[in-house]
Structure 1
Amino acid sequence: MSDAIKHECGIALLRLLKPLEYYKEKYGTAFYGVEKMYLLMEKQHNRGQDGAGFASIKFDVKPGQRYISRIRSNQAQPIQDIFTQINSRISDELAKNPAYQNNVALQKEHIPYVGELFLGHVRYGTFGKNSIESVHPFLRQNNWMHRNLLVAGNFNMTNVKELFQDLVDVGQHPKLMADTVTVMEKIGHFLDDEITDLYLDCKNEGLSKQEASPVIAERLNIARILRRASKNFDGGYAMAGLLGHGDAFVVRDPNGIRPAFYYQDDEIVVVASERPVIQTVFNVAFDDVKELEAGDAIIIKKNGNVQFENIREAGEKKACSFERIYFSRGSDAEIYQERKLLGKYVFPNVLKEIDNDIHNSVFSFIPNTAETSFYGMAEAAQKFLDDQKVKDIIAQRNTLDEAGLNAILAEKVRTEKIAIKDVKLRTFITEDSSRDEMVSHVYDITYGVVKPTDNLVIIDDSIVRGTTLKQSIIKILDRLNPKKIVVVSSAPQIRYPDCYGIDMSTMEGFIAFRAALELLKETNQYHIVDEVYKKCKAQQGLKDTEVVNHVKEIYAPFTDEQISDKMAEMLTSKGIKAAVKIIFQKVEDLHKACPKNLGDWYFTGNYPTPGGNRVVNTAFINFYEGNGERAY
């Protein structure tokens, strides 16, 4: 993606179902879980590189022995930093104590991170400083084993203030108004409630306090705790938690906005944010890895029982389509095919723009995540050319000689690698005019393959702000002297902020929004901006369920093509010789390509939760008032 947008985070939960001696015997190490967690996290580093955290729990330890270990990092390479420290600690202990080498019981007793239950997290911070305090997992400590709670998630709540007030109303004093803190404390509050009720039951049964603890741990109803805690959650989430005694869970939001996949056999239960990660790390087939259903939780009890419970009634499934377009690893079999279809479905509009002239067109992509959709576009172009060849051969069948036939068959789609990102280049100059010049050299180009008579077609994943297009890509492509530059987005126009975990929070950042404003000015309709502002302000006191997205009215007077053309005009700098055109995927074709991920609020403004409409209206109010704050 030329304009990088960042994803919030990824999770990995692993439960070993056999004694540690089993893994030592079969795999040669009792550190099997630690090694697998490294792979699960490293293969999800695409989901967040601002911070990473890891936690482990040992089962059935004696009082006074540490059973929870946690390590977090916000260094430049946080995953490597974490596991370098873990490795160093393990190696030091083994070196100092040779007796530990082949004694699993001693390893578990004396070496940290050797346990049966693990939780990992990779993070991109959508806002705020990237301090170590913001890195998951979060830990809620207590001297009672079953009251210890570790939480890590891929989530964003639209109603943090409401959730915060809920905690205040029950007498708590939260240390921070942030969704991570409020979510953990919400779960922790109802965990405490559950334990208190169970203790009274045990007391009535005549059990001592010491006898009651393991009974409480066994009887804990995790599903009930999650139902009570998540009752007012408004957002997208895949949330994982560990309890100190050994229970674990992952719960998914009712619309399935954020992803979660799991696999289980007689040795392990694993949950991660992406399917191919599990496939690769455990060498299992595509069909063996299941998707956790929207609104459900997978609950792994300390005794190894795995339960699936409905926590929130599932709504219309609106899984994030950006997972398929850009965020998730393209090695997933379904995602790979879907991205090819994105390229295929946008091709007819490309063909129209180049007047069906395949012969005088060069096709390429902006490295490197758009490569798969490029293959789909190139295959569609080849299909068009092959059909044309058949028509030409049939039309000339009575006069065609060998030379003519060879000439027809020799025609091919011209695909080239045009733009190559110079990863070593750093735009270290901060003065604007100089920095813009440096940015224009971020990509190198391949000279000699484009003729002055050619159309140059470049596909990208999506266009958000358009900054890199204007400052760099269009300028360098123009140096090749094509007659026309056609920039193709495999995603539709991004018009609305995301509030469920993607770093797209302000209206004025979107080139589509700015283009619509320019069109309103040019057509003497800018009064619509004032009217939308008044309507948004009038809704500020309403319940979320009563709020309407009035920002749609900004785009309503114009066709998609009008907005695209205005964007092309705005992104074409002075001195560009080639004609510039921008083409976007249609929303209906996105849904055809990615039928399981229909979340499209950033394109359509159709938010799957009530809080979304409040967020988009607030974002517009902030824009109108010149307020740089986030809308949630």
Structure 2
Amino acid sequence: LAKLKKQRINEKDIFDSVTQVHKRVRGAYATIGMIPGYGIFGFRDPNGIRPLILGKRTTKGGTKYMLASESVALTALGYQITRDIEPGEAVVIDRTGNVFTQQCADNPKYSPCIFEFVYFARPDSVIDNISVYKSRLRMGERLADKISREWDVNDIDVVIPIPDTSRVAALQLAHKLKVKYSEGLIKNRYIARTFIMPGQKQRKKSVRQKLSTIELEFKGKNVLLVDDSIVRGTTSEQIVQMARDAGANKVFFASAAPPVRHPNVYGIDMSSEKEFIAHDKDVGQICQAIGADKLIYQDLDDLIWCVQQGNANITEFDCSCFNGEYVTQDIDKNYLDQIESLRSDSAKQKNNTNESS
């Protein structure tokens, strides 16, 4: 305010500030803020990598507004979806309920993160007019088509999802293959997501605490385990062994996403590139590493198709963790080396040691 030489700001001042942010900052961001005594604001990166949505609710006291990253946050509180905030766009809502919007980026484009649809978003969310649930149904269908082409489906006795995010894809896959579907793995909801846990030892321990098997669904059967993706492979290896311990005859493994081979630099704390199980291995080597009898991945073109069917107007997605192509076009080897030095298990363990000493 001192710089603006005024007592109170207005929507134009906020839009000007967001415009300057877009010029200075490169990457993925969806930002929401509150200005005491004035109102709330939100804005989205010019590539639309991260989601942001606006909703409203009419009450006796007037119309209320809410900004969130996923539509389920709105609907759970009784808000109706108004629309997605566009890439580079900012919205300002003052305390009296006036809504102002403005495009604050020079060359905005839609390149949403496809991993939101694979894993992060809840299935009942709608992002950029794309149903996450229907996207995952299509992932199951396309993966079933690939399995039918490359495997003998008669070898599969039962399809079992690795809870929770693979359930929708696995159910549709089983339906398409006409194979029994079963909830043979039960999840402990009090264990955090294992793929971002620091330390291989902790991840292995957490998998056994996180999941337990129903032996009746495994014993003597050829089981097809379906997961949303494979990152480090630690979880996959442990679950394959759990299936064998439960008496499975053969253990097949299917991933609803392609191999994760590259680091994500847009807000997902995945491990360093060298710690991805697919980093320097082909599918056969990965299969051997996780101890499965067979392994199959979704093709990237099929994954893009599965999501794009929800909104034909979006022609590009951030698939960098699968193909190494970064939509901001400013990621070089030096930056990736820096990420490597910060995200590797050894770096995290060193930081933990320094903090505790």
Deviation at 1:368, TM superposition (A): 1.8
Cα 1:283–1:262 change in 2 (3 A) is closer
User: Which residue in 1 is equivalent to 2:172?
Assistant: 376
1:416 maps to 2:182: yes
SS in 1 for 2:24: coil
1:362 maps to 2:161: no
In 2, are the aligned partners of 1:496 and 1:616 still within 8 Å (CA)? no
In 1, are the aligned partners of 2:47 and 2:110 still within 8 Å (CA)? yes
Deviation at 1:283, TM superposition (A): 4.9
The unaligned stretches of length 5 or more in structure 2 are 193-199, 309-313, 349-357
User: Which residue in 2 is equivalent to 1:130?
Assistant: none
Equivalent in 286, 296, 300 of residue 587 of structure 1 = 300
In 2, are the aligned partners of 1:234 and 1:610 still within 8 Å (CA)? no
1:491 maps to 2:283: no
1:457 maps to 2:249: no
1:508 maps to 2:221: no
User: Which residue in 2 is equivalent to 1:281?
Assistant: 77
Cα 1:218–1:349 change in 2 (3 A) is closer
Matches within 5 A, 1:431-450: 440=208, 442-450=210-218
Per-residue CA distance 1:78-115 (angstroms, 9 max, x = gap): xxxxxxxxxxxxxxxxxxxxxxxxxxxxxxxxxxxxxx
SS in 1 for 2:29: strand
Distance 1:493 1:509 in 2: 13
Distance 1:376 1:589 in 2: 15
Distance 1:268 1:621 in 2: 44
Per-residue CA distance 1:378-407 (angstroms, 9 max, x = gap): 22113xxxxxxxxxxxxxxxxxxxxxxxxx
In 2, are the aligned partners of 1:459 and 1:487 still within 8 Å (CA)? yes
User: Which residue in 2 is equivalent to 1:254?
Assistant: 46
Cα 1:258–1:614 change in 2 (3 A) is farther
Cα 1:586–1:615 change in 2 (3 A) is farther
Distance 1:512 1:498 in 2: 14
Per-residue CA distance 1:51-88 (angstroms, 9 max, x = gap): xxxxxxxxxxxxxxxxxxxxxxxxxxxxxxxxxxxxxx
In 2, are the aligned partners of 1:238 and 1:250 still within 8 Å (CA)? yes
User: Which residue in 2 is equivalent to 1:81?
Assistant: none
Per-residue CA distance 1:116-146 (angstroms, 9 max, x = gap): xxxxxxxxxxxxxxxxxxxxxxxxxxxxxxx
Count of aligned pairs: 327
Distance 1:499 1:294 in 2: 18
Cα 1:282–1:439 change in 2 (3 A) is closer
Deviation at 1:228, TM superposition (A): 2.0
1:234 maps to 2:26: yes
Q: TM-score, normalised by structure 1?
A: 0.47
SS in 2 for 1:618: helix
In 2, are the aligned partners of 1:250 and 1:299 still within 8 Å (CA)? yes
Deviation at 1:331, TM superposition (A): 1.5
User: Which residue in 2 is equivalent to 1:307?
Assistant: 100
User: Which residue in 2 is equivalent to 1:335?
Assistant: 132
Cα 1:477–1:354 change in 2 (3 A) is farther
Letter in 1 for 2:223: L
1:479 maps to 2:192: no
User: Which residue in 1 is equivalent to 2:196?
Assistant: none
In 1, are the aligned partners of 2:232 and 2:277 still within 8 Å (CA)? yes
Give the % identical residues.
25
Cα 1:475–1:270 change in 2 (3 A) is same
Letter in 2 for 1:610: Q
Deviation at 1:611, TM superposition (A): 3.3
RMSD (Å) for aligned C-alpha atoms? 3.2
Deviation at 1:443, TM superposition (A): 3.0
Cα 1:615–1:252 change in 2 (3 A) is farther
Distance 1:514 1:289 in 2: 45
Cα 1:299–1:584 change in 2 (3 A) is same
User: Which residue in 2 is equivalent to 1:296?
Assistant: 89
Distance 1:433 1:254 in 2: 39
Q: TM-score, normalised by structure 2?
A: 0.81
Which has the greater radius of gyration? 1
Distance 1:276 1:458 in 2: 28
In 2, are the aligned partners of 1:336 and 1:372 still within 8 Å (CA)? yes
SS in 2 for 1:255: coil
Deviation at 1:439, TM superposition (A): 5.4
Letter in 1 for 2:27: G
Distance 1:318 1:501 in 2: 14
Distance 2:205 2:162 in 1: 19
Cα 1:622–1:222 change in 2 (3 A) is closer
User: Which residue in 1 is equivalent to 2:324?
Assistant: 605
The unaligned stretches of length 5 or more in structure 1 are 1-146, 148-191, 200-212, 383-412, 427-431, 516-562, 573-578
Matches within 5 A, 1:149-188: none
SS in 1 for 2:153: coil
Distance 1:312 1:421 in 2: 43
Deviation at 1:614, TM superposition (A): 4.8
Distance 2:201 2:93 in 1: 57
